[in-house]
Structure 1
Amino acid sequence: MAELIRLENIRKSYGENEVLKNITISIQEKEFVTLLGPSGCGKTTTLRILGGFENPDSGRILFDGKDITNVPSNRRNLNTVFQNYALFPHMTVGDNVAFGLRVKGMNESDVKEKVHYGLKLVNLEGYENRKISQMSGGQQQRVAMARAIVNEPKVLLLDEPLGALDLKLRQEMQYELVRLKHELGITFIYVTHDQEEALTMSDKVIVMNSGRIQQEGTPEEIYNEPENAFVADFIGDSNILSGKMVRNHLVRINGVDFPCIDGSENGFAPGLDVDVLIRPEDLEIHPAGKGILDAKITSKLFIGMHYEMLAQADTEGDFEWLLQNYDSYEVGSMVGLYVRPENIQIMHKPKTQEEEAIEIDI
């Protein structure tokens, strides 16, 4: 795939608050890219700058190789779907979808054909004359999508469009968005703070915090190989502990040695202080005395498909392990905990005050 969009060295401040700190992002044609991060991380500002609703203080935006940094939003070949949908309540569904086409001066027969096509794509065929006030939240979201699609943008920008929907409807719309992306063959740039949405829909996830990009990669890379403690903690449930490399492929955590697959060959020399990530689903539960360490189950919750438990180990440091398992273990029982070397992710500790500040934001 060829590069379609490049945001290069973008900075943006509001007064003394620097919202974006020299970020660079490359987006390929027909890619579904998600900007993921907590509130205030800069993801929506990035989207607004790309859409032409905000101007960067410095840096440039390239679209198909052309500099569009100073091109107004209505002359950029992209459309935005906002969280509140921005529909016109006094208009019908059909008139809402047709609005942009009529502004462009398209003749009515073509408008009618486009509106029919757009509503059919979002499974709202036959709703042209329905009032917006008669539509559910999920249906209104689909109308907003249809209105954007009929303008045939090369890029669709989506600013937390599912945030106002209930869980079941949100999950249904995730599948719809993926289907539309494949069917239309356009580039999607999606903003959310919801990790599940990002991991479910994206070709590439860009994790942001404090105006900086923390990591970018496929959902699998972001989840399985986080580059720092912030990403590890923000993406899914996790056990994050301080450790020290004893030697190649052996890390000490709370006084207990765990075999791992990392070592000097990838930057983790003996004696190095590190952060260690172990996902709760990767902790195997064995009879006491049969694991790497023993622990007592201190709490248990049933979470639909599995049990979520906390376990206190008799080791250095006061740390409760988060476990996820299909089997139930009674509170107060002793178990042995084991984790396979390939399921231990070693990460570098922050080296600068700025990096430490980012980690504290977890």
Structure 2
Amino acid sequence: MTRSHLAFLSVVACCLPAGVVSADAGDSFFEAEVLSVGQTSVDDSFELPSEGFYPDLFLGVFDESGQLTQTDDDSSFLGDGFAPALFGVPINPGGEIDFSVTGAPDESLEGAHSQFGDYRTEVAIYDSEGEFLDFFEYDGYLEEGLVDSYFESDEGWDGGTYDVMVNNAFPNDVDFFRFVGLTPGQSFTVNTEPSPLDPFSSVDTYLGWFDETGSEIATNDDISSSPLNLYSRLSGVVPENGELVFGVSGYGDYAFDGYHGEQGEYSLVLSVGGDYDFDGDVDAQDYSAWRDAYGQTGQFLAADGNFDGVVDAADYTVWRDNYNGAAVDAGAVPEPGSAFLVIVVAVGLTRPCRTATV
């Protein structure tokens, strides 16, 4: 079995009408694609992630005498749907945990399988009252016909339980983008949303905001009000260097290193200010756009400056604040204040078609 990976990436300035821009997204923070202020076009390009095989895995846990007590095939929330997980497993006397990962359908955990490939195992430890104690993970590579066994011991775990989840989806695409030339101290909102290139896509994204050293500032999985609860949103203030770096990955890839099984087109939208007609400045036309849209409700509305799903007076305030507090009336139009930037990044996270044999 093989899987093919193909990611198509394009950057769209001013929400598509101003012209399509495309570029290669970086695969890590230090390789983040730099998006120039005012950039409207670059050469078309494609990103081709590494090809990978996602093994169909099976999990078993053992008691203190080495007897197989629990097994699972496809219950993990991580991976591509063919990864196992077990929850609330009693920790063996002496604070010992003992489990093995094999390939499906090796239900006896003897190595009777033909699966192979990378995977990650995550373990969470809880005490007898259900309070979290510890967390650790293993990166492994399962070979055909073999079983990977794991054993840990800590007397402080005695009497508790543990969860073990396997993630079989690796390698896959992760996208990093660096927005530059922004105004320090200005508030912003960034979110993923359906791509205008594929509005029917339903990729489950995971979004991260990183500081200048590459450390996470904030992350978000799902916006509760987004379609199907799949898209992500973060808000904050532009730092002193005027740059923002975001990473976009698939659900479950909390380390932004490619352990996810999501695929599909999405858009990454950075919004600063009140440019509601997406022409690169904040002027009377944006006020008109807000006025004409007043009262509209829904997701991803152009004049919804605070992204709360309704165009109302709060969105007028967003526009007004980018005019340095000036207001529009019937007899006067203020000169534009601070510039507003909207850059839409349309990206394909890849999840190849899968043919499983058991």
Q: State whether TM-score is above 0.5.
A: no
* TM-score (normalised: structure 2): 0.26
* TM-score (normalised: structure 1): 0.26
Higher RCO (C-alpha 8 Å, min separation 6): 2
Which structure has more helix as a fraction of its residues?
Answer: 1
